[in-house]
Amino acid sequence: MDDKLVEESKDNSMPARMETERESLLMEVKKVTLNFNKVFAQQLARKNGDYTSLREGLAQLEKEYLLSTEAVIANTRVLDKIEKENALLKATNKGLESKIAVNTQNFAKNKQETELELKRLSEEKAVLVDNFKKVKEETSVKTTVVSALEREIQKLKQDRKKQEQVLEQLIREKTQIEKEYDRLTESALEEKAQLADLFRHAKRMKAARRTP
């Protein structure tokens, strides 16, 4: 009796665990999506095409993940229901066995029907377990895709950082060139002014020589 209660307790906790796992993974996917959106807004103009594709991929992946996890949870609940029905049928079978002495013919008939029902439920359970495994494998593949996208985002972040460093260096060089240009311009103006003074002085000297 105690073993039966423990088994039922484990069965009842299975959907809860699946729901918790689904929520946790969903939060991770949403977190990745939010981080991606933040990075996307800060990228240079030439990276917009790549980020748009990645963001759409993440959105599609999140939708597919929701559908797959909902299917897993639904299959798990169906499995739990079948297990409970199976346990109920086993209990019914035991009850029928206690009445063999009273009505052997009815017991044999009921036992046969019960075995057929158990076989049917067992076959349904096998199909559901197979579907559950397939969905689990698909979920694992999608998780791998999310990891790959995260690595790509990290690479894009690093590329952006390098580009920002190059841009800062170019800005510093531009500022230095502008300063040098201003200095040369100022020097040229000073030399031009000096030449103008020399030219005026020469004209005055020439005029003075012509004066008797």
| 3-class SS of residue 5 | helix
pLDDT digits 0-9 by tens, 95-119: 766 666 566 777 777 778 888 888 8
Instruction: Identify the pLDDT of residue 42.
Output: 63
Give backbone dihedrals phi and psi of 162, rounded to 5 degrees, phi first: -65, -40
Q: Categorize the per-residue pLDDT at 11 as very low, low, confident or very high, splitting at 50, 70 and 90.
A: low
Q: What topology does CATH give the domain 2-159?
A: Helix Hairpins (1.10.287)
Q: Could you tell me the pLDDT band of residue 5, with boundaries at 50, 70 and 90?
A: very low
pLDDT per position as a tens digit, 46-100: 566 666 676 777 778 777 767 777 776 777 777 778 778 877 877 777 776 666 6
What is the residue-averaged pLDDT of the chain?
76
Report the chain's terminal Cα–Cα distance, integer Å.
Answer: 142
Q: What ranges do the domains of the chain cover? A: 2-159
Q: What's residue 3's pLDDT?
A: 53
Spatial contact of 96 and 113, defined as CB atoms under 8 Å apart: no
Contact 19, 73 (CB under 8 A): yes
- Our CA dihedral for 65, 70, 75, 79, rounded to 10 degrees, sits at 120
- pTM of the predicted model as reported, rounded to 2 decimal places: 0.29
Structure confidence at residue 149 (pLDDT): 83
Cβ-proximal residues to 153 (8 Å cutoff; 6+ apart), any chain: 35, 36, 39, 54
In whole angstroms, what is the distance from residue 74 CA to residue 4 CA?
24
